[in-house]
A and B are shown apart, each in its own frame.
Chain A
Amino acid sequence: MAEVRIELPQGTLDLLILKALTLESMHGWAISERLQQVSREALQVQQGSLYPALHRLERRGWIKAHWATSENNRRAKYYTLTLQGKKQLEVETTAWRRLASAVGHVLDMA
């Protein structure tokens, strides 16, 4: 396993969580697994950042939480993207793309 870990810039985790939730409702562990897989193991989200972020998003009304039975028959807290969250995701995605391309342009200079 590659030991190269990327430090997530401030606020990026929120964006990634919102993105991860676009397909389906998930519980915390699944979200962290999903992010790890999709990022090809480059991103490992520690619970110390994941759960506070989830609570923060819930407080802002971008995701909703409910308790449900998971695939292995355990009670788990599932998070779902709200309508407001979807809009927020669009806004943040656009912003991120713009930032990334701007940073890219600067780095590609010369």
Chain B
Amino acid sequence: MLNDLLYRLRALFHREQMDAEVDEELRNHLERETEKYRRAGSPPEEATRRAHLAMGGSEQAKQQCRESRGTKLFDDLLQDLRYAIRSSAKTPGLAVLIVLSLAIGIGANTAIFSVTSTLLLKPLPYPSPDRIAILWLRVPGIGIPQDWPSPGQYHDIVTQNHVFEDTALATGGSFTLTERSKATKVDGIRATSSLLPMLGATPMLGRVFLPEEDLPGKPATIVLTYGFWQRQYAGDATIIGRSITLDGHPYAVVGVLSSGFGLNHEVLPTVAGIDRPDLFLPPADEARIPDNYGSENYNILARLKPGVTMQQAQSDITVIAARIREAKHRDRSFTISVVPLIDQVVGNVRTSLLILMGAVALVLLIACTNVANLLLSRAAVRRREIAIRAALGAGRARVVRQLLTESILLSVFGGAAGLAIATLSLSVARRMHPGNIPRLDELAMDWRVLCFTLAVSILTGVVFGLAPALRASRVDLTASLKSGAKGSLGGGLSIRHDKLRGALVIAEIGISLPLLIGAGLLGRSFVRLANVQPGFNQQHLVSMEVGVYGPQFKDPVKRVQFYQELAERTTHLPGVTATGAVSGLPLTSAIGWGGMHIEGHVPPPNEPELQADVRAATPPYFSAMQIPLLHGRTFVESDTNIMPPVAIIDQKMADRFWPQGDAVGKCIRRSEDSPWVTIVGVVGAVKSYGLDADSRMVVYYPHGQIRNGTMYVVARTSSDPAATIAAITHLVNTMSPDIPVYDIATMEQRVQDSMARQRFAMTMLGGFAGFAMILATIGIYGVMSFLVAQGTPDIAIRMALGARRSSMLSLVFQQGMMLALVGMSVGLVSALALTRVMGSILFDVRPTDPLTFVSVLALMLVVAVCACLFPAGRAMRIDPMVALRTE
């Protein structure tokens, strides 16, 4: 065995030497043989002749010696490869088209499947993630699709459920960490001791919380995340047992979590909207009260018992929710839903992703169709060449292997180029990452998918390389060598004689059209979205959140004074023309809402309690944002807590309750037992939750009367926004070093960010549609060029017989356009069926938007015309003399 291998290797690497030895051996043999006959008495010529005769064919012997060395397979492969490269180089256009088709198919597929598998298929990094659920209140009857539960509801669920192994109550918040007279804003989660073990978090140092720390009256403890520990304390291990100060209170650090643990807003969307917690705290006192139903500011996570399905859990919780509904007189539509954690994380991008995956599957299909098509054309062009080789004695298997080597070579090149495209697309996707698509940070090339697409395309190469190869190898030699086999006169240019190829082109156009229409719909939808007026002027507006809390601001008057002073100083900054502050800025995660009672409006029985968004605003807020005042007045500095309470409502609320425009002077109150508040003004509605989301009714209260500590400060500036932001931050720091400034952005940026997800989807689908169109163009162009090449002698003869050039042009053109039109009809029908699934991700555009359909059809038509025109032009320019002479 070893000897065999060594011999073969020697044969491979010392081929020339071995050939020379065989030559010498055979020459010796011949001499001896000749000598033998001469000795036997033959004259010299006769002796040579007889020796030759006795020995048999010398070349044949050499060839057989080579074969017996066992390197024939490899030698043939090398020869095939050399030949394949040479013949591909002879028709570089075709080779490039095939490689390009494959590259796009493989590259696009790998990239998008990588994105999808990262987002959808990779399990969450928690133990048995499929058994973790998050619980939400839903009150669809009064327009609340999802709301945070309260500790009271948590307590009911804990004591009454039969389906959960473990449950956890959590809420997020921001705190001011004071260290060496420097204030930092930190985000934390207050949670029951069950949360961290449920999510598989283990301490790297110290411990996590103990069950008894869920009870009141325990010392204040704190657990740090690894990242925060590294950032803030440079990984100092002596931190355990030390005390740190949050919002003026000391907490003892008892543990640091290991680095592998991560929790973010996507997994646990807290009411405070914090992105990633820096630290964990035991629950606040209010969370420990079993009948605290009022504070709906909590998240409930639960781990299902093994074997319990999400549906079973949901039915169990529905029963408990019904009890709460009865006992607490909630709206009829009140329920509690159990959402699997993975759905929570990727829920709203699932549709987009599945559409993208569909798009990519179509692109792969088109790419393979193209390759098949081009390989068929290639084989047809080479029938003659193959026939010649067969006539010279090439065996059928040898010819088939040769053709296969060629198609596999092209596939491999295509695969390599595809890998490059995939890498490039992924880096583009990573750079485009809007920041609000969950889990995209983890994006990496999916090698399994790469292998899969590579295999698919190589298989296409093999199958569609093999079919024509087999057919070609069976060619009737005489028929092929006579020019008859090359574009027969009888059939002329007709594609009717090439049904398979025509069908492939039709399929390509039929598949790419829905993709293009889908991309068109998304694009149009995006334009519509970008044109939505947010209700304020986002130009030249900077904004940031300022956290005025802590012991020195316990007195609310101090907070109001702080913002007044800040506003006063800010207006003196260079370039600043207006400034104001509000508790909940549009397009941020800050929110606030509550019940609403209207004087003289008695809600009919069974009708849910009115809900409205609630904001505290400083007097100049509206003018700074350029939110128009429609009726009445804005707030003034004298609207303080010693003055009668006042409010400003937005147009949405005014239109609903006072359609005649007489809202000013009417009264509202927040609950049955709170004082009446007089409406003094009506302002325009703003888009609070995104350009594509309906806003809710908003009531603004003067900051002098609702004295929030945390406010968003906005400033309109004519100078550089970054400079203005820096200047305001500096002002805050000089006024009080303990006050953190965060969530800094221009309003323009917030508007852009709110559309990031749509832009991402549009760009991705647009990219794929573009790829599809390129591929389909290649397809039409390839087939038409092939038909012209095949039909050259035919066209030449017609021209020689007097056919006009223009009629040749129209002949080719008509053939191509026929295919294109049939393909477009097929595509139109499938587009009508397919775009319907896009309804949910479109904004203000119907899935059957006629404008989009017409424009895309027109575009496709132009592309088809171009793809047909070039080959047709070539047909027109054929010189009959040259063409016929080459025959």
Provide the residues of chain B in CB contact with A51, threshold 8 Å: 22, 25-26, 29, 61, 64-65
Measured in the bound complex, the distance between the Cα atoms of B69 and A77 in whole Å is: 16
Provide the residues of chain B in CB contact with A74, threshold 8 Å: 28, 31
Contact check, A52 vs B67: say whether CB atoms are below 8 A apart. Answer: yes
Write out, one digit per residue, whether chain B residues 67-104 have a CB within 8 A of any chain A CB (1) or not (0): 11110000000000000000000000000000000000
Contact check, B55 vs A46: say whether CB atoms are below 8 A apart. Answer: yes
Question: With contacts A53-B68, A59-B69, A60-B4 known, is A48 near B61, CB below 8 A?
Answer: yes
Measured in the bound complex, the distance between the Cα atoms of B656 and A81 in whole Å is: 109
Q: Tell me the smallest distance from the CB of A71 to a CB of chain B, in Å.
A: 11
Whether a CB of chain B sits under 8 angstroms from the CB of A94 is no
Provide the residues of chain A in CB contact with B33, threshold 8 Å: 29
Whether a CB of chain B sits under 8 angstroms from the CB of A92 is no
Measured in the bound complex, the distance between the Cα atoms of B70 and A56 in whole Å is: 8
Contact check, A48 vs B57: say whether CB atoms are below 8 A apart. Answer: yes
Contact check, B64 vs A52: say whether CB atoms are below 8 A apart. Answer: yes
Q: Which of A33, A49, A55, A75 contacts B24 (CB 8 A)?
A: A75
Measured in the bound complex, the distance between the Cα atoms of B747 and A87 in whole Å is: 91
Provide the residues of chain B in CB contact with A49, threshold 8 Å: 64
Whether a CB of chain A sits under 8 angstroms from the CB of B862 is no
Whether a CB of chain B sits under 8 angstroms from the CB of A42 is no
Provide the residues of chain B in CB contact with A46, threshold 8 Å: 54-56, 61
Contact check, B4 vs A47: say whether CB atoms are below 8 A apart. Answer: no
Provide the residues of chain A in CB contact with B286, threshold 8 Å: none
Provide the residues of chain A in CB contact with B31, threshold 8 Å: 74
Interface of B is mostly: helix
Contact check, B55 vs A59: say whether CB atoms are below 8 A apart. Answer: no
Measured in the bound complex, the distance between the Cα atoms of B26 and A27 in whole Å is: 11
Q: Tell me the smallest distance from the CB of A8 to a CB of chain B, in Å.
A: 14
Whether a CB of chain A sits under 8 angstroms from the CB of B430 is no
Whether a CB of chain B sits under 8 angstroms from the CB of A44 is yes
Whether a CB of chain A sits under 8 angstroms from the CB of B60 is yes
Contact check, B8 vs A55: say whether CB atoms are below 8 A apart. Answer: no
Measured in the bound complex, the distance between the Cα atoms of B57 and A84 in whole Å is: 32
Q: Tell me the smallest distance from the CB of A81 to a CB of chain B, in Å.
A: 14
Contact check, A52 vs B4: say whether CB atoms are below 8 A apart. Answer: no
Whether a CB of chain B sits under 8 angstroms from the CB of A76 is yes
Write out, one digit per residue, whether chain A residues 56-89 have a CB within 8 A of any chain B CB (1) or not (0): 1011110000000000001111000000000000
Provide the residues of chain A in CB contact with B452, threshold 8 Å: none
Provide the residues of chain A in CB contact with B69, threshold 8 Å: 55, 59
What are the 7 closest A-B residue pairs judged by CB atoms, nearest first? A61-B3, A52-B68, A52-B64, A46-B56, A29-B32, A48-B56, A48-B61
List 20 other contacts, CB 8 Å, given A48-B55, A59-B69, A60-B4: A27-B25, A28-B25, A29-B29, A32-B29, A46-B56, A47-B55, A48-B56, A48-B57, A48-B60, A48-B61, A52-B61, A52-B64, A55-B22, A59-B4, A59-B11, A59-B70, A74-B31, A75-B28, A77-B24, A77-B25
A: residues with CB less than 8 A from B are 27-29, 32-33, 44, 46-49, 51-53, 55-56, 58-61, 74-77
Q: List 13 A-B contacts (CB under 8 A).
A: A46-B61, A47-B29, A47-B55, A47-B58, A51-B22, A51-B61, A52-B64, A52-B65, A55-B69, A56-B68, A59-B7, A61-B3, A74-B31
B: residues with CB less than 8 A from A are 3-4, 7-8, 11, 21-22, 24-26, 28-29, 31-33, 36, 54-58, 60-61, 64-65, 67-70
